[in-house]
Structure 1
Amino acid sequence: MSSISIIGTGNMARVLAGRALAGGNAVEVIGRDASKADALVGSIGGGATTGRIGTAPAGDIFILALPYADAAPVVRQLGNALSGKVIVDITNPFNPDLTGLVTPEGSSAAQEIAKAAPAGAHVVKAFNTVFGHVLAAYTPEDPRPLDVFIAGEDAEAKARVSLFVESLALRPLDVGDLTSARWLEGTSVLLMRAMFGKAVRSSSFSIGLTVRD
């Protein structure tokens, strides 16, 4: 299994940490507020550990469970401590009124984060099209798989993230290089509009692929 460091103490960090532990992965939680990280680790148990923002993350996979505005600055702050690691960007850079994205034209959150990453680190986009409460409620007994779309430049990095996704009992779907991250992030705008515009009657929905013979 994988060794995971998650930076963030919000709902998505909690859900991913819990599912990762259940899937047999080693989990470290890092918080810019150390007391919140300690509280999260205490609540999920299972052998999770607490990391500190000033030290190198223990995990081979480093998950950015942060608001988009904070993600690249944290990557720059950690600098060479992230060299050789897979950085998983789960952020959604949509603007407050859901009319578009705040990233530069033609770019994506993942591509902007990749610019901040040190040499030898590889950024992979994943999990941004899955709501945290949907991820928390999903079980392998559900009638269809919960799909996690993955985009990245490095094949080995994507393979490592795919193995991690599978350990959570989810289905990884590789959609290409980081230029695809822009479209995944645009999809998140549609998902939020669908939820708040009441295009669906429940917020417990996800997108995925159905393969037909």
Structure 2
Amino acid sequence: MTSSISIIGAGNMGTAIAGLALAAGSEVQVVARDVTAAEAVDPAVDAAELGKPLTGDVVVLALPYPALDDVVATYGDQLAGRTVVDITNPLDFSTFDALVVPADSSAAAELAAAVPGASVVKAFNTNFAATLATGTVGDVPTTVLAAGDDADAKAALAAALDGSAVRVVDAGSLRRARELEALGFLQLTLAAGEKTAWTTGFALL
């Protein structure tokens, strides 16, 4: 059975994730404020303007954390019954010195509370776009860590990428999203401080 995935966002991360899904043989829709940007991702994608109906069983929110509220306002009803993948790192980008969610919560937990009918999965936030595009971190395959309370939802994400260059590893329940966000925070600050490159990242051996 062919997987279908809608990716909201046509930036570097959205483009990289779309490429992986296409390589896996999934049907891909890219939704963006500027449909020209969505069309530029790949000729094989179904490009749509923000607000158009979603076609994927898996919906990836390839957007910055502050944009999540707008997406929920636009698509809240449509997200019910779907696997919704949150890739955000809720960083204070003015200081690069703190996460902006409570220590006992996460962006993914906030999203799950806002769309209770959806199965929220945290994934991709510990990956840079470059390592998704190449499928490698150094000389090992890129690993996508996925956290969520719904095993079927995590399996749906893995199925949508099965056959691509990356591997999806189950990182546990949605409570693990806060650790993934902390890891993403660390990786971003290291890259921003030029301690590591934006073309590399953490690897799981």
Return the TM-score normalized by structure 2. Answer: 0.90
Richer in strand (by share):
2
Q: Which has the larger radius of gyration?
A: 1
Instruction: Please report how far the alpha carbon of residue 127 of structure 1 lies from its aligned counterpart in structure 2 after TM superposition.
Output: 0.5
User: What is the aligned length?
Assistant: 203
2:194 to 181, 192, 198: 198
2:204 corresponding residue in structure 1? 209
Q: Does 1:74 align with 2:71?
A: yes
Q: What amino acid does structure 1 have at the position aligned with 2:204? A: L
Gaps of 5+ in 2: none
Tell me the distance in 2 between the aligned counterparts of 1:130 and 1:38. 26
2:105 corresponding residue in structure 1? 107
Tell me the distance in 1 between the aligned counterparts of 2:22 and 2:147. 24
Instruction: Please report how far the alpha carbon of residue 183 of structure 1 lies from its aligned counterpart in structure 2 after TM superposition.
Output: 0.8
The sequence identity of aligned pairs, in percent, is 40
| Cα shift readout 1:22-44 (whole Å, capped 9, x = no counterpart) | 2211111111x2xx223432451
2:169 corresponding residue in structure 1? 173
Instruction: Please report how far the alpha carbon of residue 139 of structure 1 lies from its aligned counterpart in structure 2 after TM superposition.
Output: 5.7
Quick check: 2:26–2:161 contact (8 Å CA) kept in 1?
no
RMSD, aligned CA: 2.0
Instruction: Please report how far the alpha carbon of residue 198 of structure 1 lies from its aligned counterpart in structure 2 after TM superposition.
Output: 3.0
Quick check: 2:132–2:166 contact (8 Å CA) kept in 1?
no
Instruction: Please report how far the alpha carbon of residue 171 of structure 1 lies from its aligned counterpart in structure 2 after TM superposition.
Output: 1.2
Return the TM-score normalized by structure 1. Answer: 0.87
Partner-residue secondary structure (3-state), 1:207: coil
Partner-residue secondary structure (3-state), 1:173: strand
Q: Given the superposition, is the C-alpha separation of residues 203 and 55 from structure 1 closer, same or farther in structure 2, using an over 3 Å criterion?
A: closer
Q: What amino acid does structure 2 have at the position aligned with 1:198? A: E
Quick check: 1:100–1:186 contact (8 Å CA) kept in 2?
no
Instruction: Please report how far the alpha carbon of residue 161 of structure 1 lies from its aligned counterpart in structure 2 after TM superposition.
Output: 1.1
2:96 corresponding residue in structure 1? 98
Quick check: 1:76–1:117 contact (8 Å CA) kept in 2?
no
Gaps of 5+ in 1: none
Structural mapping, 1:97-176, within 5 Å: 97-119=95-117, 121-138=118-135, 143-176=139-172
Q: What amino acid does structure 1 have at the position aligned with 2:86? A: D
